[in-house]
Amino acid sequence: MMKFGIIVFPGSNCDRDVAWVTQNLLNLPTRMVWHEETDLADLDIIIIPGGFSYGDYLRCGAIARFSPVMKSVVTHAQQGKIVLGICNGFQILTEVGLLPGVLIRNRDLHFICHRVSLRVERTDLPCTQSYSPGQVITLPIAHGEGRYYANPHILKALEDKGQVLFRYCTPSGEINSTANPNGSLNNIAAITNEEGNVFGMMPHPERASDPILGATEGKELFQSLSLQ
C-alpha cells in the first residue's frame, strides 16, 4: 500500500488537513515529516502542504528550500517517485528547481480565498487519472502569491510538452481572462515536470475532500495518487 509523507515546516498550516484526507478519509498509511528529517526511504508519495513556511520571508518558499528535508525530497523526485506541492508547497517546488517558473503576487494584489473552476488538461498522470479529459472541477484557492509566471521560452516548452495539469476556467470550461483569478500566464493553476512525477498546484484539494466541507472533488486526486 502506498505510504504518504507530509512535510511540516515551521509555518505550514495545511499539513494536518492533508493527513486527515489520506489517513482518516482514505485509510492510507501516512507519516508527518518534520523539516529537519532526512530519511524518507519508507515513503512513496511526498506531499508539501500549504501554509506560510518561514513566514514567507524574502520570497514564498525561498527559505524552506534550504531545509534539511528538501535535499531528500529532491532525491526522492530524482528516483522517479511522486512529489506533490500544494499552494506554498508549489512555491517551494519552483524555488528548489523541481518545477519551472515562479509564483508571484496576484495581479490585483488581494489575498484570494474562493472556490474556482478548473479544467483538467491531463488525465494520464498519477494525480489526475481519476478525472476525465476536459472535465471541469471546483476546488478552493487561498493565496496572495499565486500568479504563475515563467519566461516566454519556458512557458512555450511547458505548453509544447503538455505539462499544464489544471487551468482556471469558467464554470462551462472556457479559458479566458475573466476566469483567471490571479493573472497567471495561460490561466495556469497546476503543472507537472517533464517526467510527470512532480506536481505543483495552487488549489487546495485537501479542502474539498471531506463531505462535511461541501465538496469532494479533491479527494479523488489523493485517491488517484495512491492507486498508481
Partner 1 sequence: MDKYNACIYITLRPSVLDPAGTAVSSGLKQLGYEGVEGVRIGKYVELTIAATSEESARQQLDLMCDQFLANPTIENYRFELR
Please identify every residue annotated as catalytic. Answer: 87, 204, 206
Nearer to partner 1, 81 or 107 (CB): 107
C-beta of 11 vs 29, nearer to partner 1: 11
The Cα 7–Cα 49 span in angstroms is 7
Contact 67, 101 (CB under 8 A): no
Picking from 135, 208, 212, the residue whose alpha carbon sits closest to that of residue 220 is 208
Return d(Cα 122, Cα 162) in angstroms, integer.
8
Q: Are strands 147-149 and 102-104 parallel, antiparallel or unpaired?
A: antiparallel
Q: Shortest gap between Cβ of 65 and partner 1 (angstroms)? A: 8
Residue 168 Cβ, how far from partner 1 at the closest point, in Å? Answer: 17
Give me the least distance between CB of 95 and partner 1, in Å please: 7
d(CA 223, CA 228): 9
Q: Which is nearer to partner 1, 68 or 134 (CB)?
A: 68
Grid cell in block for residue 71: 535535499
Q: Which residues bind partner 1 (CB under 8 A)?
A: 58-59, 62, 66, 94-95, 101-102, 104-109, 149-151, 183
Closest separation between CB of residue 185 and partner 1, Å?
10
CA distance 21 to 61: 24
Distances (CA, A) of 215 to 100, 137, 173, 219: 30, 10, 18, 9
Q: Which is nearer to partner 1, 58 or 227 (CB)?
A: 58
